[in-house]
Structures are given as C-alpha cells and as structure tokens.
Amino acid sequence: MAILVDRSTRLVVQGLTGSEGRFHGLRNRSHGTDVVAGVTPGKGGQDVDGIPVFDTVAAAVEETEANTAMVFVPAPFAADAIYEAIDAGVGPIVCITEGVPAHEMLHIHAYVHVRGVAMIGPNCPGVLSPGKANVGIIPAEIFREGSVGLVSRSGTLTYQIGHELAQLGLGNSTIVGIGGDPVVGSSFVDVLARFESDPQTEQVVLIGEIGGEEEEKAAAFIESEMTKPVVAYIAGFTAPPGKTMGHAGAIISGSAGTAQAKKEALEARGVKVGTTPTETAELVAALVRA
C-alpha cells in the first residue's frame, strides 16, 4: 500500500495547458500516474497529448471520474482552483503553486479540514508513491519502492535524502512534501498519522527546518501515538535569527523555532536526529538492519 496517491489515483491537472502544468503533468504520466484530465477555463474540448481538457473540475470529474487534483494555477487564482476541486468532490488535492497568500490559505485550511479533504501544499514538491503514482514535481527516477515513509518541508532535501536511501538499497512507501509556507494544507502530524496506519510503511523520516513549531508538535505526536521508528533531519543550524531562509515559513522569531530547539524536542522523545542528509540515511539503514 501507500498513502495519499497509489494505483487507484485518477489525476486531473488544473493548469495542464500552461508550460509547467503540461511538463509535469506529462512527466507524471510517464512515471505511471493515470492522468485522466486537465482543466483550463475557456479551453474545454482541447487536449494535451491525448489528455482531454475541460473548462471546470466538475465537468472533468463527471466525464473521467478523476479523484485527485494537482494545482499548477498561478498564485492569484490558485485559491479559487483549490475551492473548485474541493467542491467537485476531489481529494487529495496537491497544490504546487508558490506565492498563495497566507490569509487565503487560512480560509482554505479550515475549508478542507471541516470537509475531511486531504490537501498537500501549497509551495510543495507533491507526493510520490514509487512504482504507483507521482503527483507533483518529485523526480521519481531517483527513488525506489520500499518501506520508508518520508515527510518533509523541503523539496530539495527530500530528493537528496531519498536518493541517499536508494544508494543504500532502501526504498520509500510514499514521499510527501508538505510545503514550506507558514500555512499549509497538511501538517507533519497529519502525514505521520497516515504513515502510522499504512501497512507498507515500517520506518519514517521527518525532514524539518527552522521556523514555526510543527517539528515540536510532531515530536509530541511521535511519543504518544507512533509505534514505528522515526529518524529526523533539521535544516538551518547556521541560519541567522530574523532572516527568512528559503521558505516563507523558515524564519526564527526570538528564541522560538531554532534548529537546536527542534533537535532537542525530537531527541527527548527518542527520535534520532542526523546532522547531515547522509548520516540521516545511514541512521535509517541501521534501523532497517536492526
């Protein structure tokens, strides 16, 4: 099995006719994802390399039974695209778009959670279940199928640690990039709970970074709710206070949100924390061999 996306995924790409949506939509299809539709208002009736395009998500769902959405809509219109997908009964929703205003995401966060819809992003690399489905911009060719679940705020570190695991002969059940914005659709805790319930996942890697308190919340959840071993990596030990580093959510406020504080919170709950991506992968390998 896997979480969020698998062989039953029927993907509709919102923004498929744009350059980025087309590139990654077709790339997802080449990695085995069943891309059944695209949506661009005013371009219904066209197609992109054989994938039919519709004016609305509702029309795409009615015609193709799409059950998962990927949002490649420009930031000023991304919130409307997300609401449209939710109202059409689609879920999960993976929003790749960067620059969605935080106040709009606050409303979306409440909207999806009260309806029980899983959302990943915005400003994220997406979700990959190797050998099953790829929804996003994750380079599937560097990952292998296996038993390690991976959840991350960082896209690039996701790729690096996943590749390090593959070089050690290990594979992933699902890779989830939750996004680096201050407000995202799913938290570490949301994804960890899914991994805990997934029969394929036997170990979990959590990749965090400075800013916010999501890693501390994850540490408390791991201690009280998880039976599967978790290894972590925290980026940003050398980040200067008060500076945004890479992601909108990666900013330290006073003494809160530092890499050291997050590391200590995780280690206090028995989570081993790697000091480099390579060491993190090696810690996972040691768990698998144990």
Query: Hey, what domains does the chain have and what are their CATH numbers?
Result: 10-120 (3.40.50.720), 143-289 (3.40.50.261)
| Order of strands, sheet of 133-136, starting from the edge strand that comes earlier in the sequence | 133-136, 126-129, 172-177, 145-152, 203-209, 230-235, 272-274
How are beta strands 47-48 and 145-152 bridged, if at all?
Answer: unpaired
User: Which residue type sits at 181?
Assistant: D
**How far from the centroid of its chain's Cα atoms is residue 124's Cα?**
6
Taken as a whole, the chain contains a residue count of 290
**What is the set of active-site residues?**
247
Residues 102-140 as b/e (b if ≥16 CB within 10 A, e otherwise) read eebbeebbebbeeeebbbbbbbbbbbbbbbbbbbbbbeb
Contacts of residue 253, defined as CB under 8 A and 6 or more positions apart, other chains included, come to none
Contact predicate 218/145, CB 8 Å: no
Q: What is the pLDDT of residue 250?
A: 46
Structure tokens at 176: 């989830």
Q: What is the pLDDT of residue 210?
A: 82
Structure tokens at 69: 């959405």
Q: What is the pLDDT of residue 256?
A: 55
What span, in angstroms and rounded, lies between the C-alpha atoms of 283 and 272? 8
Q: What angle do CA 54, 60, 65 make, to 5 degrees?
A: 155
Tens-digit pLDDT string for the chain (290 aa): 899 999 999 999 999 999 999 999 999 999 999 999 999 999 999 999 999 999 999 999 999 999 999 999 999 999 999 999 999 999 999 999 999 999 999 999 999 999 999 999 999 999 999 999 999 999 999 999 999 999 999 888 999 999 999 999 999 999 999 998 889 999 999 999 999 999 999 999 999 988 788 999 999 999 999 999 999 999 866 556 655 555 555 454 445 578 888 999 999 999 999 989 999 999 999 998 87
Nearest to 179 by CA among 98, 88, 112: 98
The 10 Å Cβ neighbour count of residue 24 is: 22
* pTM for the whole structure: 0.93
- Map tokens 């106040």 to a residue: 103
Q: What angle do CA 100, 82, 43 make, to 5 degrees?
A: 105
